[in-house]
């Protein structure tokens, strides 16, 4: 009852997945990896006792591979997901499912044509498995503080990869917020507005920080700050304002240090330590669902499409000077 997994793309994110699948996920066996950079692929394969496949298509075709993880560049996702669908193999694709809503829509359609119909595609929106987010959602759902009215989300990174533009901030980074807010509130985003102020001198041509207003079908006003060059550390905040109180993600910290005239807790430099538990729990749930042949609790292809549609609406709002834009169905 072991799932033999292959990982396509073993850069920072994919190598982390590969290590977890090889070492700390029950019921999985890492059998193959591949990477655009064959040296990197070889090193990871050697470290973890897996074989190297020349490319993603070959890995998907490998008869010893039962299920596939995609952690390559965003613009390669659609082709690889399509290949996995053709091969009839479960696939966990890192977010975004594809950079545009149009491509996401095609993938959703391709999956719907499978006979018999089955959900092979899942999307790596790992925040859904983050214990603090899960606890926050339970607090919202239990109703003890009344209905939500506003949510304030903040996503900050140390620095952005070179080359991206203001739209890429949305499709590649803010996409997490666009997925998690409807999940948290149990209501889709129906309308969005893009705002911004002065940009950081460290942010190049990109508008950064950015600020979004999102409205859910249930009438909740969601605000999101995305700041990719915040410099001080990697941080996610989220506060839900309800009728008799609020609930918010706590600042994760293992230790507190008193030194140099300060009491301080450390920030991680990137998302991997912050979401390490979330990735592990997500992968375990994915492997468990493959073993059991049941739908998983991961984000579906449809979820990936919905996030992409919200991203498209935000980009349209950006281009139109910030007006409210409806999200397409």
Residues 272-311, interacting with a copy of itself (CB under 8 A): 277, 284, 288
Stretch of residues binding a copy of itself (CB under 8 A), selected from 62-70, 106-114, 127-135, 309-317 = 127-135
Between CA 316 and CA 326 the distance in angstroms is 10
Contact flag: residue 142 with a copy of itself (CB under 8 A): no
| Cβ at position 102, least distance to a copy of itself in Å | 30
- Between residues 80 and 249, which has the closer beta carbon with respect to a copy of itself? 249
Please list every residue from 202 through 231 that binds a copy of itself, using CB under 8 A.
202, 209, 211, 213, 215, 218-223, 225, 227, 230-231
- Between residues 12 and 24, which has the closer beta carbon with respect to a copy of itself? 24
Contact with a copy of itself (CB under 8 A) among 63, 197, 293, 329: 197
- Between residues 261 and 329, which has the closer beta carbon with respect to a copy of itself? 261
Contact with a copy of itself (CB under 8 A) among 109, 161, 205, 269: 269
Contact with a copy of itself (CB under 8 A) among 39, 63, 117, 255: 255
Contact flag: residue 245 with a copy of itself (CB under 8 A): yes
- Residues in the chain, overall count: 329
Between CA 226 and CA 178 the distance in angstroms is 11
Between CA 16 and CA 117 the distance in angstroms is 31
Contact flag: residue 235 with a copy of itself (CB under 8 A): yes
| Cβ at position 12, least distance to a copy of itself in Å | 18
Structure tokens at 299: 């984000």
Contact call for residues 229 and 222 (beta carbons, < 8 A): no
DSSP code string of 148-171: EEEEEEEEE-S-PPTT--HHHIII
Pair type for strands 121-124 and 148-156: unpaired
| Cβ at position 246, least distance to a copy of itself in Å | 4
| Cβ at position 224, least distance to a copy of itself in Å | 11
The number of beta carbons lying within 10 Å of the beta carbon of residue 297 is 15
Unique residue bearing structure tokens 């920072």: 12
Structure tokens at 102: 């149009």
The number of beta carbons lying within 10 Å of the beta carbon of residue 65 is 23
Q: How many residues bind a copy of itself (CB under 8 A)?
A: 76
Please list every residue from 47 through 86 that binds a copy of itself, using CB under 8 A.
none
Contact flag: residue 187 with a copy of itself (CB under 8 A): no
Taking Cα atoms as reference points, which of 241, 213, 239, 240 lies closest to residue 226? 213
- Between residues 161 and 264, which has the closer beta carbon with respect to a copy of itself? 264
Structure tokens at 146: 């009344």
Contact flag: residue 145 with a copy of itself (CB under 8 A): yes
Between CA 233 and CA 267 the distance in angstroms is 5
- Between residues 63 and 259, which has the closer beta carbon with respect to a copy of itself? 259
Between CA 316 and CA 321 the distance in angstroms is 9
Contact flag: residue 233 with a copy of itself (CB under 8 A): yes
- Between residues 11 and 322, which has the closer beta carbon with respect to a copy of itself? 322
How far is residue 196 from each of residues 117, 253, 322, measured CA to CA in Å? Answer: 43, 30, 9
> 3-state secondary structure string, 190-210?
EEEEEEECCCCCCCCCCCCCE
Please list every residue from 14 through 53 that binds a copy of itself, using CB under 8 A.
22-26, 28
Contact with a copy of itself (CB under 8 A) among 162, 201, 293, 329: 201
């Amino acid at each position: 009852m072991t799932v033999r997994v292959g990982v396509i793309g073993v850069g920072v994110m994919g190598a982390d997945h590969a290590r977890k699948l090889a070492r700390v996920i029950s019921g999985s066996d890492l059998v193959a990896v591949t990477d655009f950079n064959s040296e990197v692929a070889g090193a990871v394969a050697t470290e973890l006792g897996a074989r190297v496949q020349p490319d993603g298509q070959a890995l998907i075709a490998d008869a010893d591979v039962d299920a596939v993880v995609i952690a390559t560049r965003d613009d390669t996702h659609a082709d690889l997901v399509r290949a996995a669908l053709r091969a009839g193999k479960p696939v966990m694709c890192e977010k975004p499912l594809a950079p545009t809503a149009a491509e996401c829509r095609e993938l959703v359609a391709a999956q719907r044509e499978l006979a018999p119909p089955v959900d092979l595609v899942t999307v790596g929106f790992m925040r859904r498995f983050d214990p603090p987010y899960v606890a926050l959602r339970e607090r919202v759902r239990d109703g003890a503080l009344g209905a939500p009215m506003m949510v304030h989300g903040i996503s900050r990174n140390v620095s952005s990869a070179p080359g991206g533009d203001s739209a890429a901030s949305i499709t590649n980074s803010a996409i997490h917020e666009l997925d998690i807010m409807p999940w948290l509130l149990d209501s889709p985003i129906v309308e969005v507005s893009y705002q911004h102020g002065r940009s950081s001198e460290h942010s190049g041509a990109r508008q950064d920080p950015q600020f979004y207003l999102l409205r859910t079908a249930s009438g909740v006003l969601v605000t999101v700050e995305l700041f990719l060059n915040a410099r001080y550390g990697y941080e996610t905040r989220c506060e839900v304002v309800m009728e008799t109180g609020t609930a918010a993600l706590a600042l994760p910290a293992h230790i507190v240090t008193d030194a140099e005239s300060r009491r301080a807790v450390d920030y991680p430099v990137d998302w991997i330590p912050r979401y390490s538990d979330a990735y592990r729990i997500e992968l375990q749930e994915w492997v468990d669902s493959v073993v059991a042949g049941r739908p998983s609790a991961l984000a579906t292809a449809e979820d990936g499409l919905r996030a992409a549609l919200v991203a498209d609406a935000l980009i349209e709002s950006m281009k139109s000077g910030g007006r409210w834009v409806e999200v397409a169905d």
